[in-house]
Amino acid sequence: MGEVVEDRGIRLSISALAAELGVTRETASKRLAQAGVPTDGKRNGYAVYRLGPAARAIIGGAPADADSTTDPDKMRPTDRRAHFQGELDRIAFETKCGQLVPASEVEFELRALVAIMVRSLETLPDRVERDARCTPEVTEYLLGEVRAVRAEMAKAMRDGADEDVRESA
């Protein structure tokens, strides 16, 4: 048996981070220092950084660790207004570029797909009986399987809706 190795994630040097994120090495180094991103060891004598915190610090100037996230409730009113205005502008831009789709459109498309799938599942036993001339036992078996799949889909949709309600609360 091999030894157990701890998964340390993706670790890159400053040069590799800069190349991957499309910035100069100097910019990457400066932003990492400003954000206080700690090194995650050394490779071939060069410091390496965890990809997630380093990328957030280099790309968006976002906080290096999840504990220091920006809390609008702790901002001054003018900063809070600027923060939310920026978020609204970002959402409008992503919607215009097609990266963000209104929930009502997603729900409409999903309902259409589910309707097609349910209709196909509901008629499957009848089509198999008619076209394949299968026995009533096979038809009953297919009916049971279709009911089980429908119940599983309904449960998954309910559980997903329950999770959405819990997350928004």
Q: What's the Cα-to-Cα distance from 46 to each of 8, 30, 58, 117, 129, rounded to whole Å?
A: 17, 16, 18, 54, 69
Q: What is the pLDDT of residue 140?
A: 93
CA dist., res. 48 & res. 1, Å (int): 30
pLDDT along the chain (169 residues), means of 10: 56 90 89 89 89 87 46 86 92 89 89 90 91 91 92 86 55
Q: What is the pLDDT of residue 154?
A: 86
Residues 6+ apart with CB under 8 A from 50: 8, 9, 10, 11, 37, 40
Closest to 25 (Cα-Cα) out of 52, 49, 53, 42: 49
**140-153 burial by CB neighbour count: b if 16+ within 10 A, else e?**
eebeeebeeeeeee
Q: What is the pLDDT of residue 51?
A: 87
Q: What is the pLDDT of residue 5?
A: 46
Structure tokens at 130: 């008619």
Q: What is the pLDDT of residue 161?
A: 63
Architecture of domain 7-68: Orthogonal Bundle (1.10)
Q: What is the pLDDT of residue 147?
A: 92
pTM of the model: 0.42
